[in-house]
Amino acid sequence: EVILDVVYNHTAESGQYGPTLSLKGIDNQRSYRLAPDARRYADFTGCGNTLDTTQPHVLRLITDSLRHWVTEMGVDGFRFDLAAALARSAHGVDMRSPFLAALAQDPVLREVKLIAEPWDIGSGGYQVGAFPPPWAEWNDRYRDAVRDFWRHALPDVREMGYRLSGSSDLYAWGGRGPCASVNFVTAHDGFTLRDLVSYDRKHNEANGEGNRDGTDDNRSWNCGTEGESDDEGIRALRRRQLRNLLATLLLSTGVPMLVAGDELGRTQRGNNNAYCQDN
């Protein structure tokens, strides 16, 4: 199967001072979510703007694109970046929003796999466990619990029990089973698995932003020294931690997601925001 990662929540035109490349120059007012001062954008994505999926022409642009990928290119489903931003209506994230309703009613799109990154950066944007069937979701509660458990920082072991067994506390209420939980320890954002056991803090100096970019909430443990080490004891401990994390992921109930390269120990040398690096 091919699951396509798609980003329909914003365009590359940034904020009010960004370039005019597409929708900003066609119909700015009806294409984007605007702040009360309509010269500015409501930014729920961290990218300067947010598309307004309550507008019919925006919604049609997205659904036409999705149908093209299914009917012409043969993909089997989609993972939606910042899906909570797509599900926003006038008063916040709405699980009966035009976007979610359109996908549920479409004869093509309702038959494919739908995976949400169930949050955005706006108020009320964290929606893990809230998406309706048949949506699956990235489960960051799983990520955090597994990271904390293996660095001996999990305050309540019952949390680990829920995550290992399919996160019924998050998904059972809506009639969804364990397959609604996309389990992961690392993703394309953040540390690689090797860096997770090699660094206590981010090292993003190469990005040119004074190490200010990227999250500081890494829940990582360097096993005794920061970064690469020639100490065989530390290297052996890191290899064991990698095996612990991989085994936990692959043996947990749910759908495991493994970043390509993590099984080989790929490193970004502590950079947890390496979108601008060739790694």
The yes-or-no answer on residue 159 being catalytic is no
Token pair for 109: 């799109």
> What one-letter code names the amino acid at 197?
V
The yes-or-no answer on residue 64 being catalytic is no
Q: In whole angstroms, how far apart are CA 144 and each of 105, 147, 217? A: 34, 5, 10
Which of the residues 81, 120, 159, 195 is marked catalytic? Answer: 81
Contact residues for 145 (Cβ-Cβ < 8 A; gap 6+)? 154, 159, 160, 162, 163
CA angle 130, 78, 45 (to 5 degrees): 60
Which of the residues 13, 43, 52, 117 is marked catalytic? Answer: 117
Rounded CA Rg of the chain: 20
- What whole-number distance in Å separates Cα of residue 22 and Cα of residue 68? 20
Q: How big, in percent rounded to 5, are the helix, strand and coil portions of the chain?
A: 35, 10, 50
User: SS3 sequence, 139-173?
Assistant: EHHHHHHHHHHHCCCCCCHHHHHHHHCCCHHHHHH
Q: What is the DSSP letter of 28?
A: H
User: Could you give the residue numbers annotated as active site?
Assistant: 81, 117
